[in-house]
Amino acid sequence: KQDATLAPSVRRLEAESGVQAAGVDGSGKDGRVTKGDMLAAIERAAAAPTPVPQPASAVQVRAPSPADDAAREERVRMTKLRQTIARRLKDAQNTAAMLTTFNEVDMTAVIAMRNQYKDLFEKKHRVKLGFMGFFTRACVQALREVPAVNAEIDGSDLIYKNFYHIGVAVGTERGLVVPVVRDAQSKTLAEIEKTIADFGRRARDGQLKIEEMQGGTFTISNGGVYGSLMSTPILNAPQSGILGMHKTQERPVAIGGKVEIRPMMYLALSYDHRVVDGKEAVTFLVRVKECLEDPARLVLDL
């Protein structure tokens, strides 16, 4: 119910701003709230920091440092990007029943194919032949066979995506961003490599558009470029799966009863156990492994 003693201009400001006149000290006759009082109150509210509602357990409060330590500390405001990354990662942990399963892949065949064709590939397509194109194609093959990893939860429904928008995590000085290679199932290896190279350049220059980082159905994260041997990647919500690539390292492995030195990479699939069963997660990783250890499968769609 509106206060009949308020001037129409005050009521209008109250409706437009959300600031309630009842909480404003009035300077008018008999303590009435004037238009000027409202404008000043609105200005004060706009200048005040907006509280972000969080559960008490999520608000991290640190104990003050001893004076000697405090004098040598530097306090820096988190960037908006870093705050967004922090919030999304914590939301994913709090929401999904997250689990990680591992496998390893012998990179011998992919490395040999890359070495054989990299010069010809670059000459024809004007882009370097890396490993991300192979991994993207391998993931699409595996997602086709295990559609649950390409699905997401919507209330009590599961949404299965019959398209493959593959997010590729790119590290920048400002933080991690995940641009999306759309319809990767329809792109050639060269088109995928060009798209990823372009994303990498523009990500480092801060020129990616918001829409280029939205709509992904599955994500690949390559910690190997920084030397990571093994990790458990966190889901990129609301997606149900993320593949972690790692550094290729020569290791002794048993081949046909003999020990050989092979370039090996650990693979990690983190998945939402609410959507993906353990059998499906393992099947996905095995399919990725098979495609990379025998790259002809990618060409023959096997």
- Active site includes 30? no
C-alpha–C-alpha distance, residues 154 and 233, integer Å: 23
Catalytic residue among 246, 273, 294, 301: 273
C-alpha–C-alpha distance, residues 10 and 26, integer Å: 11
Write b or e for each residue in 113-146: b if 16 or more Cβ atoms lie within 10 A of its Cβ, otherwise e.
bbeeeeeebeeeeebebbbbbbbbbbbbbbbeeb
- Active site includes 165? no
Place of tokens 């000085």: 173
Which three-class secondary structure string do you get for the chain?
Answer: CCCCCCCHHHHHHHHHHCCCHHHCCCCCHHHCCCHHHHHHHHHHHHHCCCCCCCCHHHCCCCCCCCHHHHCCCCCCCCCHHHHHHHHHHHHHHHHCCEEEEEEEEECHHHHHHHHHHHHHHHHHHCCCCCCHHHHHHHHHHHHHHCHHHHEEEECCEEEECCCCCEEECEEECCEEECCEECCHHHCCHHHHHHHHHHHHHHHHCCCCCHHHHCCCCEEEEEHHHHCCCCCCCCCCCCCCEEEEECCCEEEEEEECCEEEEEEEEEEEEEEECCCCCHHHHHHHHHHHHHHHHCCHHHHHCC
C-alpha–C-alpha distance, residues 247 and 227, integer Å: 6
Catalytic residue among 3, 183, 277, 294: 277
Which active-site residues does the annotation give?
Answer: 273, 277
